[in-house]
Amino acid sequence: MTFNRNFGQGDKVKAAEAITPDKGWKDLPIGGIIPAAGNAESYETGDWRTFRPVCISEKCVHCLMCWRFCPDSAIIPEDGKFKQFDYHHCKGCGICVNVCPTKAIYFVSEDEISKADSEEKEKI
């Protein structure tokens, strides 16, 4: 059985736009209510990371222990399988690396990744 709680989106987009620090008191929703449920999704916590989990897809058995233990909802499953990491939110805690029973996830320093990225760019 699959279920979706179908939370309405409502005025979410509008509301999120309405609450910006350039707005004066007359233009903000009253009472400190946030009418945009789940809008933290757009907030990046990926930049907290110093190490990045990477999955070796051949080793992954899709047990989803990483999904189960991730404190940041940063494992994106698809149709009951591991699909990818959500690097926008992953804070690099490393729990998924340790709970993976097949050692399919390893940790790479973000330093090395940015180094590799820039080398890649240079090549091009």
Nearer to another protein, 13 or 118 (CB): 13
Q: Which of 23, 59, 103, 115 binds another protein (CB under 8 A)?
A: 23
- Using the rule CB under 8 A, is 25 a contact of another protein? yes
Strands 51-55 and 81-85: unpaired
Phi, psi at 52, each rounded to 5°: -120, 130
CB of residue 120 vs another protein: minimum separation in angstroms? 27
Burial 90-105 (b: 16+ CB within 10 A, else e): bbbbebbbeebeeebb
Residues touching another protein: how many (CB under 8 A)? 66
Q: Binding to another protein (CB under 8 A): which residues in 52-111? A: 62-65, 67-74, 77, 79-81, 86, 88-95, 97-99
Please name the helix (run of DSSP H) or strand (run of DSSP E) that holds residue 45, with its range, or none: none
Q: How far apart are CA 60 and CA 84, in angstroms?
A: 11
**Applying CB under 8 A, which residues contact another protein?**
1-8, 10-11, 16, 19-21, 23-26, 28-45, 48-49, 62-65, 67-74, 77, 79-81, 86, 88-95, 97-99
